[in-house]
Amino acid sequence: MSLRRLSYWLAGLGLAAVVIAAVLGTGQDVGAILGIFTTRFLGIFIEAAPFLLLGTVVSGLIESFVTADDIARWMPRNPVLATLAGAFMGFAFPVCECGVVPVVRRLFTKGLPLSVGVTFLLAAPVMNPIVLASTFVAFGAGPVLVGRFVITAMVAVGVGLVFAFAGRPQEVLRPAALMPVAGGSTDVIPLYARAPRKPLVAGLRDALRMAGDEYFEMGRYLVTGSLLAAAMQTLVSQDVLLALGRGPVVSVLVQQALAFLLSVCSTVDAFLALAFVGSFTTGSILAFLTFGPMVDIKSMLMFLGVFQRRIVLYLILLPLLMTLLIGVWINLNISFV
């Protein structure tokens, strides 16, 4: 058994030990609590796994049929305009927070600018036709629908611009998304920049093979994230969190915590948020609908497969603070739910 696999087994055993210890400390029945934990883990994993599969298939198709020249031709030269375009790429690649990670990693190897990839990573789980339809069904064509998309675009573009002007790919991305810099240049050479577009049959075969490899590679992050999310749902009392839902600031923080802990897929989270109407403030509901798709336990761990560890921290804190400020401002100035 390799050291990596051994570390995964030890992490799983450690997590199980924490859950059991916490249950014993509360005096509750261990079997019942572990049953709840298992049910929640399977619910989270089964909900997310098809979207991760979709993302890896899209990633494989990009590898086979999209070249670096295509990326260069499609992207605006102006970094600000390119970052703005990244906010709407989800309508071309409709994937959720699980599926978007392998797609972004593959696009980086094709030469996608760093700021565009970060913006797409944060925006695509909301800015896509599937989530547009689900939010419309849940809330109708009203201010919640508009607010969700406007806030998502603002936060994603804002974070993307930070990376446009203050981020170097070598310092941000893991080696899997980069080639070594040549000749001391600060420019990144895409891994497959000179690879030609493949013939249809061979391209489809290679796309499916790469999708399978990437699915199992990214799947370990999904499994770990699902285990942690299930453990947090089991051990943290949601009644305590829901009791804090009326303050203009605390309500936003509570909904952000719920979005992070519940790790609900962005394609269905609007129906969960609908249950909070009347109990939580407007800004907090919008914070749930925007922050959760950008960052939850699953996606946080999957980010580690693309970005350096300290960059993952920035990708959590920047959306957290921006959605917090917007949600509090809405609570203090606007009320439309």
Res 17 pLDDT > 60: no
For residue 150, how many other CB atoms are within 10 A of its CB? 14
Res 32 pLDDT > 90: no
Render pLDDT for 65-77 as a digit per residue (tens, 0 to 9). Answer: 877 677 777 888 8
Q: Could you write out the three-class secondary structure of 113-133?
A: CHHHHHHHHHHCCCCCHHHHH
- The pLDDT assigned to 160 comes to 94
Cβ pair 110, 64 in contact under 8 A: no
- The pLDDT assigned to 107 comes to 86
Q: 72-78 long-range CB contacts below 8 Å, 24 or more apart? A: 72/111, 75/112, 75/113, 75/116
Half-sphere exposure of 179 (CA within 13 A, CB side): 15
Res 5 pLDDT > 60: no
Beta bridge partners of 307: 173
Cβ pair 120, 86 in contact under 8 A: yes
Cα 328 to Cα 29, 59, 286: the distances in Å are 40, 37, 10
Q: Please calculate the CA angle 132-134-136 and round it to the nearest 5 degrees.
A: 65
Render pLDDT for 46-89 as a digit per residue (tens, 0 to 9). Answer: 877 777 787 788 877 877 887 767 777 788 888 899 999 999 98
> Rounded mean pLDDT of 286-313?
91
> Rounded mean pLDDT of 177-191?
41
Cα 147 to Cα 260, 278, 283, 327: the distances in Å are 20, 17, 10, 10
> Rounded mean pLDDT of 222-227?
75
Maximum pairwise Cα distance, the chain: 64
Half-sphere exposure of 272 (CA within 13 A, CB side): 15
Range of weakest confidence among 17-26, 85-94, 291-300, 304-313: 17-26
> Rounded mean pLDDT of 297-311?
88
List the domain boundaries for the chain: 41-333
> Rounded mean pLDDT of 123-138?
86
Q: Cα separation of 94 and 173, whole Å?
A: 23
Res 230 pLDDT > 50: yes
Cβ pair 123, 152 in contact under 8 A: yes
pLDDT band at 191 (very low <50, low <70, confident <90, very high): very low
Cβ pair 219, 301 in contact under 8 A: no
- CB-based burial, 44-65: b 16+ in 10 Å, e otherwise: bbebbbebbbbbbbbbbbbbbb
How much of the chain exceeds pLDDT 90, in percent? 25
Residues 6+ apart with CB under 8 A from 21: none
Range of weakest confidence among 97-101, 122-126, 181-185: 181-185
Instruction: Report the predicted TM-score, pTM, of the whole model to 2 decimal places.
Output: 0.74
Give DSSP secondary structure letters for 251-267.
HHHHHHHHHHHH---TT
- What is the average pLDDT value for the chain, to the nearest integer? 79
Cβ pair 67, 230 in contact under 8 A: no
- The pLDDT assigned to 84 comes to 94
Res 250 pLDDT > 50: yes
Render pLDDT for 232-242 as a digit per residue (tens, 0 to 9). Answer: 667 766 666 66
| DSSP H helices in 236-308 | 238-242, 250-262, 269-274, 282-294, 297-303
For residue 67, how many other CB atoms are within 10 A of its CB? 19
Among 15, 99, 54, 114, smallest CA distance to 298 is for 99
Beta bridge partners of 277: 280
Residues 6+ apart with CB under 8 A from 66: 110, 197
